[in-house]
Structures are given as C-alpha cells and as structure tokens.
Chains A and B, each alone.
Chain A
Amino acid sequence: MDTSDLIPRLEEAVPGAVLEVRPFGRGGEISVWVEAKSIQKVAQAIRKDVDFSFDWLENLSVMEVDKALVLTYFLRSQEKGHTLYLRVSIVPDSPEAPVEMLSVVKTWPMAKLPELEASDLFGIRFVGNPVPGSSSGRFILPRGWVGYPLRKSYVFPTEFLNIPHTRPTGHTEPDDYGVVT
C-alpha cells in the first residue's frame, strides 16, 4: 500500500482538510497540505489508521515562505515503515507578531520539545502544549530575549543585558572562499 492511498481515506475522515498534494524534493515522496485548524483531527485520523498508523513524529520543521510560516510534520510509521510529510501554512498578522497554532502533543507526545523550539525561534504559540510558560516564556533563548530569530524579518539586537553585539570598527567579513578581503 502506497502513501498516496491515504489521501482519499483522509478526505473521508476529515472532510475539507486536505488542501493540496505536492511532490516533496527529488525522492518521489509527497507532501500533503492540510488546513491549519484541522491539524489535530488529521493527526488523530492518520495516527489511528490501521494500515498506516503514523505513530512517530520524526521531525517538526518550520520555515518562512512569502510571509507565511510553513510547518512540516515528518511522520513515520514505526511498524510499517511508511513516511508522510504533512504541511500546514499559517500567516502572522504582521512580520513581528506571534501567531497561534494547535498543538499535536496529544497525538504525538514527542512533539513537545520541537513545538517549544518553534515557539521560541519562530513565535508560534502552540495551544495545547502542556509545558507551563510555553506560550510566554523562553525555551532555548535566554529569558528576556526580544523577537523571533529565525523569521526573515528579524533584526539583530545591538545589545543584550548591556553586552554590546556590534562588530569592532574595521572588521571585514570573509568572502565565499573564507579569504578575508
């Protein structure tokens, strides 16, 4: 049974959730784009599907594409060896504003720390992630750090806790080959 066989089942289990199916990279794999608000239902459906049972959220990756934050859930069925790349797009109100997303921790417990990381570095507040402070505090960055560093609009701070972050005058960046020009 091929991963593409899952799509009609998914459309039946959560009507309207599947937006698009696109190829992923050169390896012949597919990515399934789903509605952000349906992610928890979709997660439950593919986790419980008897033929696929995607029980391992191998990786959660976030990237910014044209002002939208695209979340990719890399899934694997530990028993059957199938893989599936699930994708969701969310758009923050402004380039600097945090944005909300539903957590999938109830379906895949291993999502807890990757979600916290994404919340710190991309400003995504995962509703339903059980760790206290995940929505307001910091996980990987120091407390008091302002902004979400992996967003394209991020502006580097010039100081943090009175420690200057600027290069000394006369510093030159190395070129492509690592030779200082």
Chain B
Amino acid sequence: MIIDRRTGSRPEHLRTDLTSWVVGPYHGALPGPMRVHLKLDGEVVVAGVVETGFLHRGLEKALELHPWRSTIPYMDHLDPESAVFGELVLCLAVEEIVGIVVPPRAQRIRVILAELTRLSCHLGFIARVARAVGSDTMLHYVLRDREKVLDLLELQTGSRASLNFLRFGGVVADVTEGFMERVHETVDMLRVRLKEYNDLFTFNRAFVKRTANVGIISSEFAKHLGISGPNARAAGLPYDVRKSYPYCGYDQLDFHIPLGKGEGGTQGDALDRFLLRLREIALGIDLLKQAVESLPRGPFWKESLMDNFEVPAGEAYVRVESPRGMLGCHLVSDGGKNPSRVQFRVPTLPLLQAVPDLLVGGRLEDLPVILASLDLGIAEADR
C-alpha cells in the first residue's frame, strides 16, 4: 500500500494503474537539462530514474587540449552560475604543483570575489525556490537584489558571469576605485533585505506548508551518499572545506558554520535547506565585511610568473567550498605545454544519486520544490 510520507495517510482511494511520466530534458520544473522518468500511483511517486548528460561539453578533454594559460576561461563554464570557483580550484591546483605562494592581497581579492559569487548563487537559489512554489513577488525581489551583486562583479572584473579574472599566482587587476565602498553599501542593503525575505518566506504559512517535511535528507543519508555543502549542513553535518582545509586565508577570518535546525519541520527538509541558505547569505555578508576591512597591502599578482610560465611534472588534489558543496580538482602535469589530466569532483553528482530516493513517496507537486531546494548544478555534473 502506498502511504503519503508527508501526511501519513493513504492519498488515493480509487484503485488505478501506475502511470509513467517523463519530465525533461527541458522543463520549467527542472534546474537544467536533465530527464526524470517517474512512475506514479495517482499523484504519488513510486519510482524515479534520473537521466543526465544533456549538457556534456567534454570540458575535461578540452582542458587537456589547451596550453596552461588558456585553460582559465574554460573553467568559467564548469558551473556558469558560480564561475569564479572553477577558476579558483584550477589556480589552487596549479599553484600547488608549481609551488607558487600567492600574495596575501590577491588571496583576499579572491575571497571577496568568491563570497560575492556565493551570495549571487544563493540569491539565484532563492529565486528558483520562489518559482517552484509559485511566488512571483519573491522571485522579482530576489533577482533585483542579485543584480546589485552582479554589478559589483562587473565593476571589479568587467564581467557579470564569466569572470576570467583569476590567474596562476594572483588576479588580473587590483581592486577598482570605489569597489570597496560599493561592497559595503551592497552588503548593508542585503542585510536589510534578509528581513524582507524572512517576512515573505520564513514566516509565511503557505511557503512553510509547501516545503516543510518535503525531500528530507537525514544526516545518515547525506553520509551514505557523500553529500556535501549546504545540503549536508542543513542535515546537520558540520563539514565545510573553508574550515576543514582552509585556503586563500579563510583561517584568518572569524566565522561559524550554520547548521540546519529543523525549524518548522524536520531537520534536512526543503525548508531547512532554504533557511540554511538565508543563514549563509548572512555569513557571506559578515565575511565580505571582514575581508574588505582587512585587505592587505602589496602586489596582486606574482610578477615573476610573467615570462616562461611552466608547470613541472607532478600532481595535486585541492578542494574549495563552492556554493553547492565541495568542489575538488585532481590535476596532473607531465611537464608538457598542456595539462595531462584535469578531473573534477563536483558536489552535484551525489545529489543526482539522491534525487530518486527523495522523490519516491512524495507527491508530484513536490518535484519542483525538491529539485529547486537541492540547488543542482547540471552544468558541473555533466561537464
């Protein structure tokens, strides 16, 4: 007998055959090109299979075919929404093989760009959840605020999305005039907006009803599948690469990792994942304030790398905390002109494995909410 996991009751009294549904690869309920094969009993999902690969661009192969310095713009396309993290993870891997010590000012500029991108990505997440629950008001408010963050990225790097701003040994340019003041203004504005988001969502009964106890990821389930990032932290796992393997001077910043508390429902449900992103936006605001106020003086790039840049034979495995979770890069050099192998550990892959389990037992109307609350990055999963 099929039992509705949310209400604990049997939802359908009319005996019907199972229905097969195929959603995707292009559908408004999906976070990107993917296909979900569903078996439905009435409106309850009884089986689900996820099909991916629609966005495969051969990124890892492309990196092997390009000289070292030409690889960075490609990294923006690992996950276009959080482009700087792709650049960052590759730069850190190359710097580890070569043994480059990045100047402190460049590290701090990287942190500022990373945290701005995280804010932009989390605001995009809120917009997608708003769309999934049908709240157009929220969608427009959040996208309006995200524009301000993208404006900052544009002011500093000249681009809003594909930044192409990091280089092996530093960043392309020093901070633009007026950038720091604008960062202060924007994060102050976002802090005020957080209250607005709380009023619109956190204390909104209709929103809580749509998201509480839906798509629950328990801490055991997160461990079982190796889920990382905000989704694992919402489930109560206190793992964050910025704390476990500090990079770019994160260990000099003072911050605490927020965890899911299960307010309104169960720990690790869609509501918890949403609330955790709100808390991470608040954390991002604090980190940006700290980073901007303590920007060290000095060079923003290792100038000795200007000529004859070569990467000796060797390998490295580095991790960064991207907005979706732990992003890893295994980089191998044979001493040649191009990388010999670049492989990425992306946080979306374990989530894709979790999707069928999260859908089964829920209702069809929960599908957009569950998928949006996981913050899947299809581009990085397909590569």
Contacts and interface: CB of A to CB of B under 8 A. Distances in A.
Interface of A: 24-27, 55-59, 61-64, 72, 74, 78, 81, 85, 108-110, 112-114, 117, 121, 138-142, 149-150, 154, 174, 176-178
A113 B352 contact: yes
Given A74-B328, A140-B56, A27 B223 contact: no
B70 interface: yes
Nearest to B228: A58
Given A24-B317, A58-B328, A140-B382, A176 B352 contact: no
B267 to A, nearest CB: 17
B4 interface: no
Given A110-B353, A140-B382, A74 B314 contact: no
Interface stretch (B151-159, B169-177, B295-303, B339-347): B339-347
Given A78-B239, A113-B349, A63 B341 contact: yes
Contacts, number: 93
Contacts of B326: 58
B61 A25 contact: no
Interface residues of B, number: 40
B328 A149 contact: no
B317 A109 contact: no
B350 A110 contact: yes
Contact of A74 (B70, B317, B341): B317
Residue of B67, B99, B317 with most chain A CB atoms under a 10 A cut-off: B317
B178 to A, nearest CB: 29
Contact of A26 (B56, B64, B316, B383): B316
B223 A55 contact: yes
Contact of A110 (B61, B67, B225, B332): B225
B96 A26 contact: yes
B272 to A, nearest CB: 20
B224 interface: yes
B193 interface: no
20 contacts: A25-B97, A26-B97, A58-B328, A74-B317, A74-B330, A74-B345, A78-B223, A78-B239, A110-B224, A113-B350, A117-B349, A121-B60, A139-B53, A140-B56, A141-B53, A150-B61, A174-B70, A176-B67, A177-B69, A178-B70
